[in-house]
């Protein structure tokens, strides 16, 4: 299979099921941003961090491919001629969201309580987490926008919301693990 197909040379691309849309279609923006997020998470995983976090990040990357597949499938193409759901065995599940919540809770046990907003930074790895968190929030906003136009799996939006929380707490936990300074934002008076 060749990497280049030339089918996108006119500014369109195919969704799951074959429907062609403009490359700036909200559905493409949605799953393209999820793909960007996945790349940022890969960058975090490539850092010198605890192997448990690397394992969690691999699981998240796998789920993000599922999210991308869901977002790449227009509602009219979700059901096959047989009546079976196209992504029946792939979908995001409540257990995926609960997994993120459990990981957040474990990390928060060792973190000091937050009393102020935290400025992103302090260590390169921590900064990568904050960048990924921001990209995740953008992916979530785009998925919500898409959902306003065409129904989208509500668990996708919930998963992206929880994932941004996870990435924020991971940034704080890595600040602690790496002995990086966590700079609080104190508004000017």
Q: Is residue 3 part of a domain?
A: no
15 contacts 74 by C-beta, under 8 angstroms: yes
Question: pLDDT category, 83, cuts 50, 70, 90?
Answer: low
Q: Is residue 40 part of a domain?
A: yes
Q: Is residue 6 part of a domain?
A: no
Q: Is residue 78 part of a domain?
A: no
* Residue for token pair 């939006």: 157
Beta strands in the chain (DSSP E): 12-14, 20-22, 117-118, 184-185
Q: Is residue 185 part of a domain?
A: no
Which domain range does residue 120 map to?
Answer: 12-73+85-179
> At 36, which CATH number?
1.20.1200.10
Q: 92 CB contacts (<8 Å, ≥6 apart)? A: 63, 66, 67, 70, 153, 155, 156, 159
Cα–Cα distances (Å) from 47 to 23, 103, 136, 169, in that order, read 32, 19, 19, 17
**What is the C-alpha to C-alpha distance for residues 62 and 125, in angstroms, rounded to an integer?**
21
What per-residue confidence (pLDDT) applies to 24? 84
Question: pLDDT category, 87, cuts 50, 70, 90?
Answer: low
Residues 147-156 have pLDDT tens digits of: 999 989 999 9
Q: Is residue 68 part of a domain?
A: yes
pLDDT at 188 over 90: no
Q: Is residue 38 part of a domain?
A: yes
**What is the C-alpha to C-alpha distance for residues 44 and 32, in angstroms, rounded to an integer?**
19
Chain centroid, CA 82 distance in Å: 31
Token pair listed for 44: 């975090």
To the nearest whole number, what is the mean pLDDT of the chain? 90
Q: Is residue 53 part of a domain?
A: yes
Residues 45-60 have pLDDT tens digits of: 999 999 999 999 999 9
The enclosing H or E element of 64 equals helix 51-71
Torsion angle (degrees, nearest 10) of CA 28, 33, 34, 37: 160
Collapsing DSSP states into helix, strand and coil, what is residue 10? coil
- Count of structural domains within the chain: 1
**What is the C-alpha to C-alpha distance for residues 73 and 87, in angstroms, rounded to an integer?**
9
């Amino acid at each position: 299979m060749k990497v280049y197909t030339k089918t996108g040379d006119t500014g369109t691309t195919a969704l799951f099921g074959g429907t062609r849309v403009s490359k700036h279609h909200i559905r493409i923006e949605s799953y393209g941003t999820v793909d960007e997020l996945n790349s940022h998470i890969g960058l975090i995983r490539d850092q010198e961090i605890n192997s448990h976090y690397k394992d969690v990040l691999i699981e998240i990357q796998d789920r993000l491919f599922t999210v991308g597949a869901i977002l790449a499938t227009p509602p009219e193409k979700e059901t096959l001629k047989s009546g079976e759901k196209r992504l029946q065995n792939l979908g995001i599940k409540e257990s995926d969201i609960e997994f993120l919540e459990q990981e957040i809770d474990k990390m928060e046990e060792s973190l000091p309580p937050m009393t102020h907003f935290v400025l992103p930074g302090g260590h390169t790895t921590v900064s990568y987490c904050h960048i990924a968190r921001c990209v995740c929030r953008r992916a979530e906003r785009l998925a919500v926008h898409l959902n306003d136009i065409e129904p989208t799996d509500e668990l996708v939006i919930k998963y992206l919301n929880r994932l941004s929380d996870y990435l924020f707490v991971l940034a704080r936990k890595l600040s602690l693990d790496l002995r990086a300074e966590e700079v609080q934002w104190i508004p000017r008076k």
